[in-house]
Amino acid sequence: MDLAALNKVATAMTTPGKGILAADESGGTIKKRFDAIGVESTEENRRDYRELLFRSEKAMHNRISGVILFDETIRQKAADGTPLVKVIEAAGSIPGIKVDKGAKPLPFCPGETITEGLDGLRERLIEYRELGAKFCKWRAVIDIGPGIPSHDAINANAHALARYAALCQEQDLVPIVEPEVLMDGDHTIERCEAVTEWTLKTVFQELYYAKVKLEGMVLKPNMIVPGAECATQAPDQEIAERTIRVLKNCVPSAVPGIAFLSGGQSDVEATARLDAMNRVGGFPWHLTFSYGRALQHAPQVAWAGKTDNVSAAQAAFSHRAEMNGLATLGKWTPEIEKKAA
């Protein structure tokens, strides 16, 4: 393991002013996205859509530090025959890969899941590294509901995250460690805060046991928000302050950067809350974004599967990337959002 090289990549991934594009939707997920815009989810259409993102010069060069790919995408070539990994690198961005096999029901824990994919992971990591990946991602899912999460669900997912992260570092790949406490449900912001703190403390305990070097990883957590169906929603400032408080209580300063997931928040909500955190300041890590829907919804709608719409889709993507890039610096405002739209 080359820790200096891992730290260099992790630091570059969370560079102030830039963030990570999560373009790692599974086949089922991207089909849902394409169904919503009336586009058939064929391999060619998926390739064309992702290529238009990766060739969005303004966004990729200025605001996107890394791109998380799906297994299909890391093997694909652009329309002109250039491997998509090379297109990403040419734009000055770092290619990465999602390596988990998805969340499956956890035995004897109704409503809870465990993320699978550890079997054969070492061999897959070697192949992905040879295909050009510099970092990986593994997502664990923690749900809040009556009687859950359970100790078993949090511990099992934290242990799997740590085993994955150790295998990545063994192969000189930076692990993105993603424990996501879902915003589904009607739970309060206080409940989200308590569960997120429990989850993160358990994750970092397991990372320590697994001998994962914190200097060579990136954390991808949820923000502290009320459940989407909670009667009492919270202002951005409260979300920012609670999120920073939990991170300070749980995340060692050795971690180079934290890249938040959007988790079902709207485009502007995800931007505004990231900006609010960076305005609060007073933390040792770089806080940035690793968004999927919050970066891609607007370009998908603008594209709608039509070649004539590629420029409009790239403009929509560049706008969202620019707004989130400003948020990593604490320089986004609603006025800038409206003016630039």
pLDDT tens across 252-309, in order? Answer: 999 999 999 999 899 999 999 999 999 999 999 999 999 999 999 999 999 999 999 9
Amino acid making up residue 8: K
pLDDT in tens, 214-239: 999 999 999 999 999 999 999 999 99
CATH topology of domain 3-340: TIM Barrel (3.20.20)
Q: What does residue 308 show for φ and ψ, rounded to 5 degrees?
A: -65, -15
- Token pair 């391999």 is at which residue? 43
Buried b (16+ CB within 10 A) or exposed e, 86-119: ebbbebebbbbbbbbbebeebeebeebbbbebbe
Residue 335, pLDDT score:
93
- CA 249 from chain centre, in angstroms, equals 21
- Tell me the pTM: 0.96
Q: Return all residues near 179 (Cβ < 8 A) that are at least 6 apart.
A: 140, 142, 157, 158, 161, 199, 200, 203, 221
Among 259, 251, 177, 175, which Cα is nearest to 223's? Answer: 259
Per-residue confidence (pLDDT) for residue 341, from 0 to 100: 67
Contact residues for 57 (Cβ-Cβ < 8 A; gap 6+): 91
CB atoms closer than 10 angstroms to residue 245? 14
Residues of the chain short of pLDDT 70, as ranges, are: 341
**135-142/103-105 β-pairing:** unpaired
Structure tokens given for 65? 């530090």
Active site residues: 178, 220
